[in-house]
Structures are given as structure tokens and as C-alpha cells.
Amino acid sequence: MSNFAQLAVALMDLTSLNNDDTSHSIESLVASIEPQLGTPAAICVFSQFVAHAKIALAARGLSQVNVATVTNFPTGDDSLSHVINETLIAIERGADEIDLVIPYKALLNGDEQSVLEYVRESKKVCAEKATLKVIIESGILQTEALITRATELAIEGGADFVKTSTGKVAINATLQSASYILKTINKTNKSVGFKAAGGVKTVADASEYLALGNKIMGEDYLQAETFRFGASSLLDDVYKQLCV
């Protein structure tokens, strides 16, 4: 299990996206990292805390840890112009990664073009400046057909990663939805990553996703450039396992 723990921490987006977040709570999040036990791939925070997270990481000699933020979050209901403005500001603040929520309600209503446009326009802004991770909210889409189609649209629009969930709805990451996403990515033969978010709380949880990723995509896929976990409590369990 310790091998899974070591891998899980290296693939983690250590996340705090709470309405009561403060500069102090973001400092505490950064302080929770124990480099001798492993460092996460990224810290994911609201845009207003991006610069603060960068400074806190640098102060600890952890500048290699990326800082991610979210756009169109969590409902997917913002106008495209607002989302683009959000993205521009986040990048100006130093965000290395943008986690965009697609307008998934539009997709439920058969509007594929809106999904494609949000992803495509966000990708134009990110360009070479930031990684674009696209959240499809698989727990709302639910069906294989809709999850597959959302993944296809995300990839067509230029997504660097397809992410399951916001973590803010009743059903978040599941192994079934992960399987649909990974199989769709695999069929494209494109270098697109996968991120499971919401509900991955233990090393045991993470190990199931790692096994699934290995089965569908191969062992080489299990690296931070192509495989991530969005988590807040997973780090605690990882460190417990590594301290045993």
C-alpha cells in the first residue's frame, strides 16, 4: 500500500475550495505538505488566493508545486465572457492550471456547441501559459452516452485534462464514470490527462483509480502530466500510510 501512497501524493491536486477560505487557511494548506513524505503535483484554490499560494509555496522551497484555480465554478452557469475574464485574471495572478467547469446543463439540453465554445475559447486564453483541465460534472451527466460525449467535446476543444467533478454535487468521481472518460481518451490517441475529483479520500480509494488507469491507459499514464486526484483529505491518509 505504501507504493500506492507514494504515487498518490505525487499525483494529487491538494484542494481547498471552500466559501470560508482565507489567506490563513491557504497558508495552513501549504503548511500541511511534508516534503520528506512527498509533495503534491499542485495546490488548487480560488483565484483570489493564487498569488498567496505561490508565495507560501516559495517560502517553503516548494515552487515546483503548481497552483491551480477554477473557472465557471461550481455551477457552470457563468457567461462565456465572464469565464474568459476569470481565466485572464487567474493567469495574471500566476495560475499554472485552470480547471474549467463546462456548461453541463446546456449539454443536458442538447446544446453541444456551447460546451465546445467554452472549452475552445478557454484554451485560446490558456495557450502555452496554463494547463486547461475541463470539469464535465459526470455525476450530473450520469449516463455513459453523456459522459462520453462531454469528454469528446472537451478533447475536441483542446482540453489538456478531463476531470470528473467539482466535488460540489451529490455524486462526484466514481470508478464507472472514470472508466467512461478514460476509455474515451484512449480512443482518441491524444495526450490528454484524467483527473478524479470528489470522494477520493483514502489510499485505498486512490489505488482503485490507479488500477483502473493502468488497465485502460497503461502504467506510463500514471504520472502527474496525465493523471491527477483532486482531494483535500487524501493527503492525511497518504502520510499516515507512509509513516507506518
Q: Report yes or no: 240 and 4 within 8 Å, Cβ to Cβ.
A: no
In this prediction, the residues of the chain whose per-residue pLDDT falls under 70 are 1
Query: Helix 80-92 and helix 112-126: axis angle, to 10°?
Result: 20
Cα–Cα distance, 121 to 159 (Å, whole number): 11
pLDDT for the residue 1: 61
Residues 74, 79, 84, 90, Cα dihedral to 10°: -30
Cα–Cα distance, 35 to 60 (Å, whole number): 9
**CATH code: domain of residue 175:** 3.20.20.70
pLDDT for the residue 45: 98
Which residue range(s) make up the domain with 231?
Answer: 2-243
Q: Which amino acid is at 78?
A: D
pLDDT for the residue 7: 96
C-alpha cell of 103?
456548461
Give the CB-side neighbour count of residue 19, counting CA atoms within 13 A: 2
For every residue of 100-123, which 3-state class applies, written as one string?
EECCHHHHHCCCHHHHHHHHHHHH
pLDDT tens digit sequence for 78-102:
999 999 999 999 999 999 999 999 9
pLDDT for the residue 214: 97
Q: What is the pTM of this model?
A: 0.97
Number of domains forming the structure of the chain = 1
**Which long-range CB contacts under 8 A does 213-216 form with residues at least 24 apart?**
213/178, 213/182, 216/179, 216/182, 216/183, 216/186
Residues annotated as part of the active site: 99, 163, 195
